[in-house]
């Protein structure tokens, strides 16, 4: 009984503390993700006041957080939108991979973490944060801008890349043989293909199965389906997160809109727990040794994301100011970088320092991203005016 009371007190303190941190973050116009990570660092292993007694709940809650993050990401797109976005953005997507995955992989190799660590760090530095980017674009009133579809198309390609990358990473981290790894990747690719085909042709039937006029029944069916599919995917050696993402794609129309509206509060709650748990499992004393590497990666990958967005927008005929906004919008990293690092560290096949580097890197990028997006317009405008003046004098 006493253990239950202590667990409830600790859990209540965690939830209330997260609420305070979230309020501080939005008051200053930044993502709450860095503060959630800091909160986890403060109360985890090596922190100020280590929390014990809620380990089982927080671990399960963090897993549900990953599932809901990917489910709602899938709900944002229909299968037709994904395929259309892929056709439009595949060249920009390849440039994105080349420019932004390489720095992370190179850093891991230079640190002596080997090919597995390089594969994980490549994903950490590659994937932008859809959640932070969507929030920033909305806050800045840029959702209707001409360059916004370019931003979204790059994000769609990244999401599709994750649907292939996560199963590959999972197979490698599991220490599968070459044959086993190829089998796992083959199953994943087959699952992605089947779901896209089914969603394109029979998406309305899948939506009808989970739909219900009663809010309680609807919530139970959608959440139950997501956890069920995620669990089955995990059993098949396919990432649970990928399973949830594919289910989200298959649900479309008004059903997807209703599911998004009802699941958003749950997603925010459990996703916050995921970031806290990642922080809890990272020793704060391990961050200072990798802080310099994290800062260098932040500088390099800020420049490479801006270059990616600039190039993608230029191909669509967007003016220079819009190209700058496109690149700046893509800078933020967040939830998926932590998901990748979490998978890697939990496997036991990479160094614990990878968690510290990923945490420091995401802390920096989740703050830098919104700031760059907010202030790129006056800076780029000044540079363009200065260039035009120089041209006139020349």
Give the span between the Cα atoms of 142 and 135, in whole angstroms. 10
Cβ–Cβ < 8 Å for 302, 331? yes
Cβ–Cβ < 8 Å for 92, 315? yes
Nearest-CA neighbor of 197 among 72, 82, 70, 71? Answer: 82
Res 393: pLDDT: 40
- Top mean-pLDDT range of 110-119, 231-240, 262-271: 110-119
Res 175: pLDDT: 66
Res 294: pLDDT: 94
Could you tell me if residue 112 is left (phi over 0), alpha (psi between -120 and 50 degrees) or otherwise beta? left
In our burial notation (b when 16+ CB lie closer than 10 A, e otherwise), range 304-334 reads: bbbbbbbbbbbebebeeebbbbbbbbbbbbb
- What is the number of other CB atoms lying within 10 angstroms of the CB of residue 209? 12
Look up tokens 């439009």; give the residue.
Answer: 88
Res 392: pLDDT: 43
Cβ–Cβ < 8 Å for 128, 331? yes
Distances (CA, A) of 275 to 109, 193, 218: 26, 31, 27
Q: Where are the alpha helices (DSSP H) in 251-352?
A: 253-280, 288-315, 320-329, 335-347
Res 383: pLDDT: 47
pTM value surpassing 0.75: no
Give pLDDT tens digits for 60-103. Answer: 888 888 788 778 877 876 666 666 666 777 888 899 999 999 99
Res 248: pLDDT: 83
Average pLDDT, the chain: 80
HSE-CB for 284 with a 13 A CA cutoff: 15
Q: Assign 299 a pLDDT band (cuts: 50, 70, 90).
A: very high
CA torsion 232-235-238-240 (nearest 10°) is 60
Provide mean pLDDT across the span 225-235: 82
Q: Which helix (H) or strand (E) holds 334?
A: none
HSE-CB for 99 with a 13 A CA cutoff: 24
Q: Is the pLDDT of residue 132 over 50?
A: yes
Tell me the CATH architecture of domain 56-282+292-349+356-384: Up-down Bundle (1.20)
Give pLDDT tens digits for 332-368. Answer: 888 788 888 888 877 776 777 888 898 889 888 988 8
């Amino acid at each position: 009984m006493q253990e239950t009371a202590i667990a409830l007190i600790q859990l209540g303190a965690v939830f209330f503390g997260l609420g305070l941190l979230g309020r501080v973050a939005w008051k200053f116009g930044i993502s709450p993700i860095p503060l959630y990570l800091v909160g986890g660092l403060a109360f985890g292993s090596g922190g100020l006041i280590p929390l014990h007694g809620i380990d089982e709940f927080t671990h399960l809650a963090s897993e549900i957080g990953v599932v809901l993050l990917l489910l709602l990401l899938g709900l944002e797109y229909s299968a037709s939108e994904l395929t259309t976005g892929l056709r439009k953005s595949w060249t920009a997507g390849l440039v994105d991979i080349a420019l932004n995955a390489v720095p992370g992989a190179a850093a891991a190799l230079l640190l002596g973490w080997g090919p597995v660590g390089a594969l994980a760090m490549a994903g950490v530095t590659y994937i932008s944060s859809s959640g932070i980017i969507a929030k920033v674009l909305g806050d800045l009133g840029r959702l209707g801008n001409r360059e916004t579809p370019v931003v979204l198309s790059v994000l769609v390609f990244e999401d599709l890349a994750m649907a292939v990358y996560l199963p590959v990473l999972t197979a490698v981290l599991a220490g599968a043989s070459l044959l086993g790894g190829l089998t796992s990747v083959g199953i994943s690719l087959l699952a992605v293909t089947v779901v896209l085909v089914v969603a394109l042709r029979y998406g309305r039937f899948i939506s009808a199965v989970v739909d219900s006029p009663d809010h309680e029944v609807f919530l139970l069916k959608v959440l139950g389906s997501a956890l069920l599919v995620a669990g089955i995917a995990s059993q098949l050696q396919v990432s649970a997160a990928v399973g949830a993402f594919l289910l989200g794609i298959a649900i479309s129309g008004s059903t997807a809109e209703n599911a998004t509206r009802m699941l958003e509060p749950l997603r925010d709650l459990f996703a916050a727990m995921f970031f806290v748990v990642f922080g809890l499992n990272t020793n704060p004393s391990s961050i200072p040794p990798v802080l310099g590497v994290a800062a260098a990666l932040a500088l390099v990958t800020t420049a490479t994301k801006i270059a990616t967005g600039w190039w993608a927008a230029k191909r669509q005929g967007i003016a220079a100011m819009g190209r700058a906004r496109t690149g700046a919008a893509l800078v933020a990293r967040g939830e998926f970088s932590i998901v990748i690092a979490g998978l890697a560290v939990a496997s036991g096949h990479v160094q614990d320092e990878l968690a510290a580097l990923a945490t420091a890197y995401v802390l920096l990028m989740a703050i830098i991203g919104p700031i760059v997006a907010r202030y790129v317009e006056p800076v780029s405008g000044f540079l363009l005016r200065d260039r035009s003046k120089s041209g006139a004098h020349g």
